[in-house]
Amino acid sequence: MNGIDALPAEDFTEAMFETYQAFNISGLYNGKKFQDVLLYPKKIPSYFPQMDGYLRSVAINFGLSGLITIRTPREMIEGYTDPLVAQLATMPIYMGGDATTSSFLALNNPPTHPTDNTVAFFTGQDDYTMTRTYGKWLDQEYIKMKGKQYTSITQIEDYIYSPWKEPVLLDGTDGMQFSPAMSKDNKLKAFVNDMSRNCYFDYSNTDDTYPGLD
């Protein structure tokens, strides 16, 4: 243990105490230790960098029972409450908590689909090529996402932000319908909100699996 041998004599006792506390499994349930070891890259003890990786592994596997959750198909689709996210939501931010993320997770109600979202579509009445094309998402003409942020250690507010470095204009339909009278040379445009990006599709080939259906 060259790291310990290099310590000044007056620091040796404190270093040994830190080591004992670090190896004490019951101590890993302390919120402060979760903050320092699991949520932030703080080295404990500072003289032994490998201790950081060890404590993270123990904290995840013993303190949190791993980072894998097993759910039924119904829970995945209709939703379930994640215990780790729920626990973090009840902790203050200065203890490593985070109440900006919902602990309820569901495929049919993802965070990319806000329930109070204001959207607008072009009807195609004046220009049929614009049929069902997005005009606004989150009441914005550019690709935006909605989230929550801390304005203080106790206050949280909603905010709208761009997931991209440069502003990206909405360009496409919802993918369920496109303009009429399209040919194989046309490029399909769709705004995929799950990815917060515009996607473009070119014709590749005709599938004859279902005769008569192009």
pLDDT digits (tens, 9 = 90+) for 120-177: 999 999 999 999 999 999 999 999 998 888 888 888 998 899 989 999 999 999 988 8
Is 134 in contact with 121 (CB distance < 8 Å)? yes
What does residue 201 show for φ and ψ, rounded to 5 degrees? -130, 135
Reported confidence tier of residue 199, pLDDT bands at 50, 70, 90: very high
| φ, ψ of residue 104 in degrees (nearest 5) | -95, 120
State how far the Cα of 178 lies from the Cα of 174, in Å rounded to an integer: 9
Neighbours of 139 (CB within 10 A): 11
- Using 50, 70 and 90 to split pLDDT, how confident is the model at 72? very high
Query: Maximum CA pair distance of the chain?
Result: 86
Tell me the two tokens of residue 213.
Answer: 């259906």
Give every CB contact of residue 15 below 8 A, 6+ residues apart in sequence: 4, 7, 45, 47
Q: How far apart are alpha carbons 9 and 26 in whole angstroms?
A: 29
Q: Which residues are CB-contacts of 14 (< 8 A; sequence separation ≥ 6)? A: none
pLDDT of residue 29 exceeding 50, the answer is no
Q: How far apart are CA 162 and CA 71, in angstroms?
A: 32
Task: Decide: helix, strand or coil at residue 70.
Answer: coil
Are 55 and 39 within 8 A, CB to CB? no
Mean pLDDT of the chain: 77
Tokens of 56: 């993270």
Q: Which of 123, 122, 164, 173 is nearest to 145 (CA)?
A: 164
pLDDT at residue 93, rounded to an integer: 82
For 110, the token pair is 């993802």
Torsion of CA 175, 176, 177, 183, to 10 degrees: 60
